[in-house]
Structures are given as structure tokens and as C-alpha cells.
Amino acid sequence: MRAAIVWTILRREWMETLRNRLLLSTILVPPVLLTVAPIILAGAVGERTLPADLARQILSQKPEWVSFTPSELAGAFAVQQFLVFFLLMPAYIPLSIATFSIIGEKQARSLEPVLAAPIRTVELLAGKAIAALVPGVLAGWVTYVAFVLLASVVYGRALFGVVTDGSWLAGVFLLGPAVGLSSVVAGVIVSARVNDPRVAQQIGGVVIVPIVGLVLVQATGTLLVGPAGYVLLTLIVLVVSLVGLRIGVRLFDREAILTRWR
Amino acid sequence: MTEPPTENAVALRAVGLGRRFGDRWAVRAIDLEVHRGEVLGLLGPNGAGKTTTVRLLTALIEPTEGTAAVDGFDVRTQADEVRARVGILTETPGLYDKLSARTNLDFFGRLYGLDAATRAERIEHHLRLFGLWDRRDEVTGTFSKGMKQKLAIARALLHDPSVVFLDEPTAALDPEAAFIVRESIETLRKAGRTIVLATHNLDEADRLCDRIAFVRAGLVRVDSPAALRGALGARSLAIRLASSPSPDALAALRRLDGIDTVEAVDGVLRVRASEPESIAPAVVRSLVSAGGDIVEVRVDRTSLEQIYFDVMGVHPGADGIEALDGGEAPV
């Protein structure tokens, strides 16, 4: 694989993304909301405390929170829910970019001249995949950093420690990119079969279902996933993504694109 | 008699080339040579296999059987080398509408490995050649169909390919845009480019091509328009007279050498001959000496349309329904 060709593809992808206002708004608005929403939630929670049973259940899973005051515990529990939302960004942003990119090229019939050049399809796929993956992962990371800075100001030192513990770091920096990869793979596979980016996003959005499941499990307080859990989830998502990638590479074959993509 | 082309003079060669999709052969048994500087037309109806042939010859898809080579590089085993040596205008321009004309070309220049200075020089050259230099920084989404097609041709030429493939370059264009594109192709032809032009436009093929390959699930016939007319088309002199010719004048004409038949229809004498231009002076002298008042003399050539119908075995029916004589169904 030639890096110069991959970079050429990636560069053009980003130039087009920057000129697509709809896609740009899809990428930029949610991170802003995700940074601000926890701050608003903190205000809403205020001095409230958790029911005693729930507090006991949480402390059994998170003994390091035992020194928290009842209101800090409530805040920590509320803020903990937001970790999974930081996984949604690397999930839906790459999906949006990949589907817009591939289906856009199908509709404009612009892939044939590209494939007529001395380029390998794996280089084309790599360029598109990286162009889709990087903004999603970066958005997740940048939003997280902004969120941490705000959290340290708004919530104080106790909750700052919560959002920078091993679970958060493993979730944002390991599981996030893995989820992003699975999202790109889903985007490639679905885009090969449908001709409307919105339909592709709805179908490809199936990758978000496990994340929503994680939200629900955490919200009930029955299972707060720790660092090891996030590492395990990362490995599972990577394995699933690599299997999907093999399917995606086959669908992205030069002849398949020219003769079967309609 | 012309010398057989040397190996270096052959830009493209196909031997027994064929491609099957599932159980159906799109094209089969294509034997073809395209010489440097030649414009070869691939002429056939929609679905005849022209695009498949172009894709096979540009190493976009692999042949099921047979071989083809561009500049001696095999489409199957040296696909990257082939792709580096061909330029292709696909059925649709396939431009990036949100990017400018210059950025579109720059992207492809990078894909073909051109350095920055060469890219800049060639982009300017081709944009000027096709009259797009003043619009170079406008996004192509604002371009007319003709402008997009010209930009796509510029894109196909950017890396200075050995062979340029133009797939239906004027399809779906209005007459003005089609004229502009044909003028562009004429410019390339005059510049000595080797071009393979896939089209179902008979007039376009007649005007632009040195040889025409009739395609219908394979090559039905390959020849120059002149040779096709000579071999397949009867030619004649049409002479319009001020008044009907006398029987003596007709008898005198029939005695001239080189004339096959003479008939008078609606005040027009039709003199059939294998070489109507060479017998024209003798025919005119004979008619004038017999007292005929000549209004107009012209050489009637068989239209390429008629030749097309003959070669393809197509007989448009009385009620406008085409009938195909044998052969495989178009794919």
C-alpha cells in the first residue's frame, strides 16, 4: 500500500467533507451538545442524593467512591452515564462520513475514473476509511478533553477524578477508536448495497445498539463497567470489525464496484 | 499497398478477448489492433458490449478469456502498468461537484503520480486547450454538461496516456454541448492522439474515426468508413436536368465505360458506378453533347446508417420495429 496514494484519497475526502454543510453540521453539533449537557445535568442534580439501596449497590462496584459525600456520589453516578455518549461520537461520525462518501460517489459515478487510475482498491478503501475514522475519533477525544476541563471547574476535584479514572481513559481512548472502526466497516458494507446515505446510516446504526445497551445497563446501576471491562469490549469490537473488514474489502473490489454497485 | 504496422506502431492489441457475466457473454472473441495516432470507433447499439470492451481494454475488469495489451503490457497480469498508460472518459463525467475544476484535475494528477510542477503545467495546458482556464477555480457543480464533459476529457489526458478511451462522449448532451465535445475530439485527433471512441452515434463515428469496429457481443466487422462504403455501399452520380433526357442521351450514357446502370426518376438521372467521381466528366460531356441542360451533379454515397444496418443485420420494420438477424442478443 502506497502512503502517497492513501493520503491523496484522504485529502480529497476531507476537502469534500468541509464543503458539505449538512455533513459538517452532523459532525460538529453533537460534540458541542455532549460537552454542555453534563454541565446542565450537574446543575439539575444539585444537592440531590441517591436512594440508599442504589447508593449501596454503586459503592459495592465502585469502592473508590466511598469517600464521596452523598451529593458527590449522585453527581459521580450521573456523570458516569456520559462515558457511553463519548462512544457514540466515534460511532456515528465515521458512519455519516463513510456513507455520504461512498454513496455520494455511487450517485455521481465518480469511482470509475478513480478505479481507472493505477490505484489499488485497498488504497482507495484505506483512504476513505481513515478519512471517516479520524474525525470521529478526534471529535470524541477533543470533546472529552473539553468535558474534563469543564468538569474540573464545575464539579470540583472529586468528580474530576471520576472522569479521568481508568474506565474513562480505556473507554475514550481504546473502545472509542474500536467502535469507530466498526462504524466505518458498517458504513462500507451497507453503502455497497443501498443508494441513500440516510438509509445507510439507519441500517449502519445497528453498531450503536450495543452502546445503547451499555447505557441502559449502567443507568440502572446494576453494572458499572471498569477498565478491564472496557479493554475486553475493545478486543471484542476489534475482532468483529476485522471480520467485517474482510467482507468490506470483498465488496470494495474493483469489479464489484463497476459491475454490481447500482 | 501500405506496409504492415511494426510492433511499436501498435498501441493496443486484443486477441480472443471475451468477458462473461454469469451465464451470459457480454463480448467474445474480440481480435483487434489499434495503431498509434489512429481513431478507432466502437459502434453498436446500447447493450452491445461497448462499455464492457472499453473496461476490458483499460484493465478495469478482467477478461474471462483471451488477452489484451496496451504498449505491450498485459491487461490481466500488468494491470497497473496498463492503467498508467490509458486515459478514460467514462459514460458519465464522474467529477467531484463540490471541488473546483483545478482541484479535480490536481487530484487525478496526484493519483497518476505526477509531480507538483508537472501537474500545474499540464492542468493549465489542458484547461486552456478546452477553454476552461477562466473557470478553473469554480466548483464543477456549476458547470454545464458540455463543460463537465470537456473537463472529464482533460482529466483523461492529464497523464499523457498512450491510448485515450472515450465512452459515449456525447450521449445525453444537447446539440450545442455535443458539438463542443466533438470539436474537442477533433482537436485531439489532429494532435495525433490514439483514441478508441465508443459510440452509437453514426455521424460521430463517420466524422471522427479512421476505422470503425461494429460491436454486437463481439466484433462483427472492422474497417475504415471509406472501405465500408466501397465494399458495402453502392455509389452513384445523381444528375438533375432542366428537362427529361432524350432516349438517345440515355443510350449514349449506357455505352460509356465504367457505368453499371442508368435510370431516370422524377427528373433525376441516377448513374450507378463503382467510381462515380472518375466517370463524372465523361457523363457530363455526353449529356451536354446530347443537348441536356444540367442543373446539378452530385456524388451520392451510401449513408453509414445503411451500412450499419447491413453490417449488424438490422432491418427496421415497416412499423418501426427492429428485427435482428441471428447473432447473440445484445447484452
pLDDT tens profile A97-111 = 888 888 888 888 888
What average pLDDT does this structure show over A7-24?
Answer: 89
pTM: 0.77
Radius of gyration of chain A, Cα coordinates, nearest whole angstrom: 21
Contacts A120 to B, Cβ<8 Å: 80
- Scanning A91-130 for CB atoms below 8 A from B yields 108-120
Q: Which of B103, B105, B107 to mutate to test the interface with A (most CBs of A within 10 A)?
A: B107
What distance in Å separates the CA atoms of residue B253 and residue A185, rounded to the nearest whole number? 81
Number of domains comprising chain A: 1
> In the CATH scheme, what architecture does the domain B7-229 have?
3-Layer(aba) Sandwich (3.40)
Q: What is the pLDDT of residue B140?
A: 94
**Mean of per-residue pLDDT scores for chain A:** 82
Distance CA A240, CA A185 (A): 10
Window from A8-22, A40-54, B19-33, B282-296 with minimum mean pLDDT: A40-54
**Residue type, position A129, single letter:** A
Which helix H or strand E contains A214, and what residues bound it?
helix A209-220
- The verdict on a CB contact (< 8 Å) between B88 and A15 is no
Q: At which residue does the C-alpha cell 495516432 appear?
A: B37
CA-nearest of B78, B35, B26 to B55 is B26
Nearest to B168 by CA among B12, B62, B55: B55
Give the separation between CA A230 and CA A155, rounded to whole angstroms: 24
What is residue A12's predicted lDDT score, i.e. its pLDDT?
A: 93
Q: Which CATH architecture fits B234-300?
A: 2-Layer Sandwich (3.30)
Phi and psi for B191 in degrees, rounded to 5?
-80, 0
**Measured distance CA(A161)–CA(B270) in Å, rounded:** 102
Side chain identity at residue B329, one-letter code: A
- Condensed to tens digits (0 to 9), the pLDDT of residues A185-232 reads 888 888 877 877 778 777 777 777 777 677 666 656 566 677 888 888
**Per-residue model confidence as pLDDT tens digits over B131-142:** 899 999 999 999
Selected residue with higher pLDDT from B123 and A53: B123
**Whole-number percent of chain A with pLDDT over 90:** 12
Residue pair B200/B46 in contact by the 8 Å Cβ criterion: yes
Contacts by residues B109-117 (CB-CB < 8 Å, ≥ 24 positions apart): B109/B158, B109/B159, B110/A4, B110/A5, B110/A8, B111/A5, B111/A8, B111/A114, B111/A117, B111/A118, B111/A119, B112/A117, B112/A118, B112/B84, B112/B158, B112/B159, B113/A4, B113/A118, B113/B84, B114/B158, B114/B159
φ/ψ (deg, to 5) at A80: -55, -30
Q: Is A186 on the interface with B (CB under 8 A)?
A: no
User: Higher confidence at residue A158 or residue A61?
Assistant: A61
pLDDT greater than 90 at residue A8: yes
Q: Please identify every stretch of chain B with a pLDDT value under 50, giving residue numbers as ranges.
A: 1-5, 318-331
Q: What pLDDT shows up at residue B328? A: 38
Q: How much is the pLDDT for A66? A: 85
| Domain of residue A72, residue span | 3-259
Nearest alpha carbon to residue A79 among A174, A179, A152: A152
Chain B residues whose C-beta is within 8 A of a chain A C-beta are: 21, 55, 58, 60-62, 80-81, 83-84, 86, 88, 90-92, 94-99, 103, 107-108, 110-113, 139, 152, 155-156
Domain extents for chain B? 7-229, 234-300
